[in-house]
Each structure stands twice: as structure tokens, then as C-alpha cells.
């Protein structure tokens, strides 16, 4: 079995115009005899609803509690096959908690979530909404599917990707946590590769970026460490802000090195 070291850089910025950062992120890395393991999460609170930052914080804090209180037992019992079912259950709990909070406080609130958990030589992704997870190695590969109206239209050949990129409907979500009782969680998994970089980001980050921007500032720095990943995250966030992005901006870069 391959053993890996995980490195990370992360940044969440309220952006150019908003007074509140409704995004929340989580970066956790641990180590055992099998190498490093970690969880990396981006949650984008819905700005069109009230208290988006409350919803995204509720999601992050619940996952932080899982990391601190429950993960050790899961690893000790060697129950890797239960990672996705357990995290899916937690996402459904978060969804219910946000709905209950909204009902008690007379508010409508919600959040996207894009989560990647890495253990041994595998990654596990759970995702709801239009934040994204990419793999970057020889090329950029999007690992998640957007739960948005324009993504649905593109998938059904009712709109081109170019039209979707500039459509006024591009922020309309079909799925998020905290709005509907039932959620459809996108899940996938795969094997980690040496020198691979994962990018977890909110739509405020990727809206104004082109593939060549990402390749220049991330792929061009494959001899990475924590500082290099942090620098790349900051550089890309500054590019996004310089292009006038109006939303909050969040990104996590996770680099994989084989021991």
C-alpha cells in the first residue's frame, strides 16, 4: 500500500463588495501508521437567503466534531467501507439541523458543501450544490457535478457551456443543504496519485478563472510544499478579486506526495 503526505494551502475572502463572508472552510490533517489522512471542506452559504454564514458554519462545525470525536474509532475499527455512508448520514443531519434552525428563527438559509476525505491511498468525495472539487495533475479534471439549473440545461443539451458561464440563471441551485427535506448527495471515490493536487473551491473562486490561470499558478508549481500551495491560493484569489468578482471567494489546495 502506498503511503502519502498531505500538504495544504487555504484561503477564504469576503471579496470585493460583500460585507459578510458567508463561506466557511475546514482543513484537517492527521497521521497514523498508514500515512497522512485528512478532510477538506468548502461550504458556500446562500447569499440570496438570510444567514448564509450561519448555515455554512453549522455544516463545518458538525464535520469538525465528527473529526474530533468519531473518526478515531472508525479508523481503529478499520471501517473504511463505511466512510461514505457515515458522512452521507452526517450531511443529512446537517440538512435537517439547518431546516430546524430556520423554522425556529423565521429564516430561510442554506449552504452548498463540497467535501473530500483522504485516507490510505483513497479519496472520497461528497457534494451538494455548485461549489466544486478538481484534480490537477497533467490536466485539470472536475470531479463533482454542479447541482444548478444551468448545469441541468447543459447536461440535457438545452444550453452550451459557454452560454451557461454567462447566464443570469447560473446561480440558481437545484440542490443545497437546508432548504428541502430530501437531498441528493453526489458521491465518488478514487485512488490518490503522487504529485496530484486537489482544488476545492466556491463558485466565487472559479467564476472568473480560466483553465490557463490555474495551470500557470498551480500545475507550474508541482514541486510544492505547504508554503507553495498557500502562495498559489493567495495568487489565484487576488486574480479573481482583480477581475471584479462580486461573491465571497474560497479555495483549498491539497497536495499529495508519496513517502
- Domain-wise residue ranges, the chain: 4-258
The strand order across the sheet containing 132-136 reads: 4-13, 249-258, 197-201, 132-136, 140-142
pLDDT in tens, 4-30: 999 999 999 999 999 999 999 999 999
pTM of the predicted model as reported, rounded to 2 decimal places = 0.94
Mean pLDDT lowest among 179-188, 221-230, 234-243? 221-230
Give 74's pLDDT tier (boundaries 50, 70, 90). confident
Cell of 61: 462545525
> DSSP state, 105?
H
> DSSP state, 87?
H
Domain over 4-258 is classified CATH 3.60.40.10: yes
> Cα(185)–Cα(229) distance, rounded to whole angstroms?
29
Give exposure, 128-164, as e/b (b: 16+ Cβ within 10 Å).
bbbbbbbbbeeebeebbebbbbbbbbbeeeebeeeeb
The answer on pLDDT for 47 being more than 70 is no
- Find the mean pLDDT for residues 150-161: 79
Amino acid at each position: 500500500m502506498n503511503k502519502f503526505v498531505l500538504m495544504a494551502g487555504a484561503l477564504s475572502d469576503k471579496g470585493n463588495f460583500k460585507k459578510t463572508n458567508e463561506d466557511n472552510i475546514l482543513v484537517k490533517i492527521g497521521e497514523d501508521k498508514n500515512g497522512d489522512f485528512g478532510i477538506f471542506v468548502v461550504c458556500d452559504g446562500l447569499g440570496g437567503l438570510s444567514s448564509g454564514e450561519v448555515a455554512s458554519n453549522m455544516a463545518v462545525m458538525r464535520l469538525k466534531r465528527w473529526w474530533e470525536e468519531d473518526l478515531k474509532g472508525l479508523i481503529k475499527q478499520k471501517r473504511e467501507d463505511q466512510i461514505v455512508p457515515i458522512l452521507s448520514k452526517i450531511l443529512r443531519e446537517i440538512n435537517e439541523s439547518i431546516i430546524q434552525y430556520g423554522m425556529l428563527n423565521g429564516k430561510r438559509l442554506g449552504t452548498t458543501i463540497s467535501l473530500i476525505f483522504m485516507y490510505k491511498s483513497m479519496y472520497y468525495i461528497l457534494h451538494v450544490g455548485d461549489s466544486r472539487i478538481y484534480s490537477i495533475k497533467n490536466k485539470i479534471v472536475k470531479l463533482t457535478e454542479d447541482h444548478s439549473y444551468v448545469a441541468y440545461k447543459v447536461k440535457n443539451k438545452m444550453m452550451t457551456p459557454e452560454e451557461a458561464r454567462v447566464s443570469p440563471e447560473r446561480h440558481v441551485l437545484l440542490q443545497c443543504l437546508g432548504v428541502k427535506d430530501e437531498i441528493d448527495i453526489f458521491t465518488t471515490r478514487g485512488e490518490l496519485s503522487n504529485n496530484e493536487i486537489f482544488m476545492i473551491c466556491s463558485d466565487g473562486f472559479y467564476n472568473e478563472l480560466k483553465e490557463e490561470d490555474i495551470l500557470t499558478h498551480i500545475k507550474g508549481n508541482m514541486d510544492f510544499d505547504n508554503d507553495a500551495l498557500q502562495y498559489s491560493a493567495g495568487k489565484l484569489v487576488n486574480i479573481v478579486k482583480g477581475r471584479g468578482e462580486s461573491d465571497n471567494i474560497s479555495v483549498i489546495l491539497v497536495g499529495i506526495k508519496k513517502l
